[in-house]
Amino acid sequence: MRRESEKLALQITLSLVLVLPFTAAIAGVVQGPHFLGHPPVVPVDLDSHFHYLAGIFLAKLLLYVSCIPRIERKGARLQLLCLLTVAGGLSRLWSLASAGVPSLGHQIGLVIELGIAPALLLWQMRLARRF
């Protein structure tokens, strides 16, 4: 594959992978934990913490988006973002082991965090070497 074609393929893939997390982050910022459709009464501190974390999550996703235009040159930023993503995934994995299996959306998040994000980083590193 030509390097420009590979760059475009990685840009498109990253863009598509970000759609579901963006949906969740925006819903979390706007609705708080209520978007999950569970308890009708959410303690104020939990609501506050959830909104805070959703804001951080949204900011992280915006940083991922900022890497798309010149993805071949964004290795350091992608490495940091991937580290943060994997750390969150490991925390989610801890929750799965200690509290039980979460809903499908959270399971998909786990796959993205511990599988797809590192794979995309490796792809970016390969592409960067070609440029």
Residue-wise pLDDT tens digits, 66-89 = 999 999 999 999 999 999 999 999
User: Can you give the pLDDT at residue 20?
Assistant: 96
**Whole-model pTM?**
0.94
Average pLDDT over residues 52-57: 98
| ∠ CA 109-14-122, rounded to 5° | 90
Structure tokens at 4: 């420009």
- Three-state DSSP at 39 gives coil
- For 107-117, write each residue's pLDDT tens digit: 999 999 999 99
Distance CA 11, CA 127 (A): 11
Burial of 64 (C-beta count, 10 Å sphere; 0-12/13-18/19+):
buried
Alpha helices (H) in 1-131, listed in sequence order: 3-31, 44-67, 75-99, 104-111, 117-130
| ∠ CA 44-35-38, rounded to 5° | 75
Confidence of residue 126 (pLDDT cuts 50, 70, 90): very high
Confidence of residue 39 (pLDDT cuts 50, 70, 90): confident
- 82, 118 in Cβ contact below 8 A? yes
- 94, 100 in Cβ contact below 8 A? no
